[in-house]
Amino acid sequence: MTTAEPTRYAPPAQADTRQVIRPYGDTTGDGMVQVSFTLPVPAGARAEAAALSLAGQMGLDPASVVHVKPMGPDFTFFIVYGRVRHLIDYAAIEAPEGREYPLLSATEANQVIRAGLGRPLVVVGACIGTDAHTVGIDAILNVKGFAGEKGLEYYRELRVVNMGAQVAVAELVERAKAENADAVLVSQVVTQRNAHLHNAKQMAAAFHAEYPTAVAAGMGRPLLVVGGPRFDTVTAADLGVDRIFGRGTTPAEVASYLVHALLPGAGR
Amino acid sequence: MSDTAREDKLGLDPRLVDRARRLAARAAEPVIELARTHTTVSVERALLRLTGLHGADAGGTPWANVITDAVAAQVGLEHGVALPVWDALRAGGHRDLESLAREVARGGVSFRLPTGADAGTARAAAGAAARAGIARIDRRRAERDRLLREIGDPPQPWIYLIVATGDIHEDIPQAQAAAREGADVIAVIRSTGQSLLDYVPEGATREGYAGTYATQENFRLMRAALDDTSRELGRYVRLTNYASGLCMPEIAVLAGLERLDMMLNDCMYGIIFRDINPRRTFIDQRFSRQIHARAGIVINTGEDNYLTTADAVDAAHTVIVSQLLNERFGHEAGLADGQLGLGHAFEIDPSLPDSFRLELAHAQLVRELFPAAPLKYMPPTKHMTGNIFAGYLLDAFFHLAGVMTDQSIILIGMMTEGIHTPWLSDRDLALENVRYVRTACGRLAEDFVPRPGGFVAERARRVLAESVELLERVEADGLLPAIADGTFGVTRRPPDGGKGLAGVVARAPGYCNPATEILDTEDPHGSRDMAEVPA
């Protein structure tokens, strides 16, 4: 990631190596953006001035408040349009790494597992902690699947144990051991008070404690995978897991990753 | 609610509808029999709560659990807690159940199953205590009826909004603000941890995950606050909570005692989505529905949830089948049609051609199958993306479908569904959306008459036909095996799996539960001459 230092005026000599861009409203370089927010004050001229002040501090210059809506006696909602003064040197922006493994079909994944492992690959999945939202884990595990793709239960060479909702971490560790799990999939949807981060860390720590001599995922301990819509602020290393999957992840992406991570070099 | 909008528009075959209902009744029968012949720890605790027991020990274990667990350990629950508890209450000279519970906690109470005259004395005392509890619930119902008359009952569709801060003292101003902005029904989402707690927490609570604990005190605080707001607004604002999870019967009792108006109470939701044992759920559910019937509480069922895991087109008939089962279980427990807030949802993939016509067909089918039920229609969730602008449009179409098909309770759509719990502004924009649709459409339902033999009518007939086919299978195989087989919500739940089975007990001959006796024998809606509890 590049740093967000404000870009200073660049002498023309360097201009040919730079590709400066700004947001596009309806003209190249107009820098127009829209934002909406609520201020905890009653609607009125003073509230509108406060909204403009915020917009100015956010770098919108000029800014215009196009919509003001009182929400009860104590709050006001604003929609603001404005021109941002920030510049982006697109040439200096590196594309984040894409998927580091090939996307396999169910048939291909099954073949790799059969050839490379010689037995079904065991996946234990759960929603841990107080999270009762099984939508994510079910979308990945249930035969029904997600986005037109069948879930992991559909893969002949995967043995799936879906423990469902509100599973205690200790219960998950115990089950993973009992099932000889190759991979543990944990879904976390509830984000209030950062429950998803707390739970994922707790889960990872429990597995690392349970397998103190493990060398790596698949070598002495199961592969640890978490998924959920709001893990975009952290890295896998922050949580102590091997991989994070975000919103819109499909079962095939997860299956392909499991094969890639647990059977490296196989099926290429 | 207009009767003209509920005329027969789809040309459904009445014989097929009758057949569907008969099949649902037959499929439900073995499960009802199971509920009539078994009790659970939560049913027994519900009796104690009904008679006024509340409070907890220093560690937070409610007195209802302390007593029930001790009776279970000492004499077993197969005869119910009533005889051992009221026998011990008299024998020990305890002032009330709470003093008894304190003594139990100190290890100073030996329960026994009384016989002869002692049994008669205990039975009479327990009966009087249960009668007083039921009378309190009756007075609360009468109080609601009076407030509806005095303050005013808003027209349907009712706008249903959720608050979910985790802190009852934050929930209250949010709920009041939502009511002022137009909400007719406020639902306080429970902390997600609660459904699997085998006790009901005590007191006002400020710490919950993605919701606020259902406690008697939280119920009381919120109802009192909404009573104030109702008077201010000139319309009675209804309050909803969740009689689901392992404490369904107790929470139903607390809702009745604190005049909650609606309760989420599905016959299979806990089984499928929370992995609660199927037997436990069905036994708890029957008692909780008997209480709801008596308390005049409208139940909300959870069929919308099936469509979040299964495909909303392929699985449309599973919604109908579940609604018919919920209706049967509800009627058997004494709920009137006007208390059956059967659920369904607008969850068809919007990229599908004719998705809106399919939604209209499903929604109209439900409307016609259950003309007197206050149907609860749930907004899109599965196909809401991070594109809040597209989401706002989809929500408007959902509101439109709700108005066109004369749905009764509309849980309004949030454009930030799936991104975060709604912000103040999300809720305000959502209300603006539904207000526009409601105002712009007026009584559009009267004009919406699908062409006979057209797409909408044919789709509805096909879903009904598929529902009858599925009911035939469920009736032949049995409901519990069908659930084990993953028929609903694509999740397989065996009858001996899941949480809470240890709390299920077969009733012995001579089982005594005076609450059940009243609920089994009296008309829950019979007119009663009663004084109200002061508000």
Domain boundaries, chain A: 12-92, 106-262
* CATH homologous superfamily of A106-262: Cobalamin-binding domain (3.40.50.280)
DSSP letter, residue B415: T
B269 annotated active-site: yes
The minimal CB distance from B309 to the residues A38, A75, A135 is found for A135
Total tally of structural domains belonging to chain B: 2
Pairing of strands B38-40, B504-506: antiparallel
Q: Are residues B178 and B97 in the same domain?
A: no
> How distant is the Cα of B490 from the closest Cα of chain A, in angstroms?
7
A79 to chain B: closest CA residue: B425
| Complex ipTM value | 0.83
Instruction: Tokens for B279, please give them.
Output: 């037997």
The minimal CB distance from A229 to the residues B418, B429, B490 is found for B418
Task: Beginning with the edge strand found earlier in the chain, give each strand of the sheet holding A32-39 in spatial order.
Answer: A32-39, A75-84, A60-71
Q: Are residues B343 and B435 in the same domain?
A: yes
8 Å CB contact of B192 and A247? no
Q: Are residues B316 and B421 in the same domain?
A: yes
CA–CA separation, B501 vs B270, rounded Å? Answer: 13
Tell which of B209, B419, B423 to mutate to test the A interface (max A CBs under 10 Å): B209
In a domain, B372, yes or no: yes
Give the domain range for residue B437: 150-462
Q: Are residues B191 and B44 in the same domain?
A: no
8 Å CB contact of A166 and B428? no
In a domain, B200, yes or no: yes
Does position A10 have pLDDT exceeding 80, yes or no?
A: no
Q: Are residues B245 and B103 in the same domain?
A: no
- Among left, alpha and beta (phi > 0; psi -120 to 50; other), residue B528 is beta
Summarised one tens digit per residue, pLDDT across range B130-140 is 999 999 999 99
Give the residue numbers of A annotated as catalytic, written as ranges: 144
CA–CA separation, A201 vs B454, rounded Å? Answer: 55
Q: B168-192 b/e with 16+ CB inside 10 Å = b?
A: beebbebbbbbbebbbbbbbbbbbb
| Numbered residues of chain A with Cβ closer than 8 Å to any chain B Cβ | 36-38, 69, 71-72, 75, 77, 129-135, 138-139, 142-144, 164-166, 190-193, 195, 229, 247
In a domain, B213, yes or no: yes
> What distance lies between CA B307 and its chain's CA centroid?
18
Q: Are residues B331 and B253 in the same domain?
A: yes
**End-to-end CA distance of chain A, in Å?**
30
Q: Are residues B329 and B430 in the same domain?
A: yes
CA angle B176, B181, B182 (to 5 degrees): 100
> How distant is the Cα of A139 from the closest Cα of chain B, in angstroms?
7
8 Å CB contact of A192 and B386? no
In a domain, B479, yes or no: no
Of all residues in chain B, the percent with pLDDT exceeding 70 is 97
Q: Are residues B269 and B310 in the same domain?
A: yes
Which residue do the tokens 């990945």 mark?
A140
Pairing of strands B340-341, B343-345: unpaired
Which residue do the tokens 């924009």 mark?
B429
pLDDT value of position B3:
47
Q: Are residues B378 and B253 in the same domain?
A: yes
Q: Are residues B419 and B285 in the same domain?
A: yes
In a domain, B427, yes or no: yes
Could you tell me the pTM of the whole model? 0.83
Does position A11 have pLDDT exceeding 60, yes or no?
A: no
CA nearest B366: which of B396, B387, B346?
B346
CA nearest B467: which of B285, B264, B306, B355?
B306
CA–CA separation, B312 vs B324, rounded Å? Answer: 18
Which pLDDT band holds residue A9 (cuts at 50, 70, 90)? low
Tell which of A36, A75, A135, A247 to mutate to test the B interface (max B CBs under 10 Å): A135
Does position A216 have pLDDT exceeding 60, yes or no?
A: yes
CA nearest B76: which of B111, B49, B47?
B111
CA nearest B252: which of B183, B212, B298?
B298
Q: Are residues B158 and B127 in the same domain?
A: no
Summarised one tens digit per residue, pLDDT across range A107-119 is 899 999 999 999 9
The minimal CB distance from B428 to the residues A71, A195, A229 is found for A71
Please, are residues B341 and B374 in contact by the beta-carbon 8 Å criterion? yes
8 Å CB contact of B308 and A135? yes
Q: What are the helix (H) ranges across B190-260?
A: 216-233, 248-257
* Other Cβ atoms closer than 10 A to B452: 10
CA–CA separation, A181 vs A175, rounded Å? Answer: 8
Which pLDDT band holds residue A13 (cuts at 50, 70, 90)? low
State whether the Cα torsion B267-B269-B270-B271 is positive or negative: positive
Q: Which residues of chain B are within 8 Å of residue A47 when distances are taken between CB atoms?
A: none
8 Å CB contact of A72 and B180? yes
**Domain CATH for B337:** 3.20.20.440
Query: What kind of fold does domain A12-92 have according to CATH?
Result: Defensin A-like (3.30.30)
8 Å CB contact of B192 and A190? yes
Instruction: Tokens for B494, please give them.
Output: 């065996």
8 Å CB contact of A138 and B191? no
Summarised one tens digit per residue, pLDDT across range A59-103 is 999 999 999 999 988 999 999 999 999 999 999 999 887 788 899
User: Where a domain ends, among B441, B462, B483?
Assistant: B462
The ranges of chain B with pLDDT < 70 are 1-5, 192-193, 309, 489-491, 529-535
User: Where a domain ends, among B462, B485, B513?
Assistant: B462
CA–CA separation, A201 vs A184, rounded Å? Answer: 14
Instruction: Tokens for B162, please give them.
Output: 């959720």
| Numbered residues of chain B with Cβ closer than 8 Å to any chain A Cβ | 166, 177, 180-181, 191-193, 195-196, 209-210, 273-275, 308-311, 382, 386, 418-421, 423-425, 428-429, 490-491
In a domain, B19, yes or no: no
Q: What's the whole-number average pLDDT of chain A? A: 88
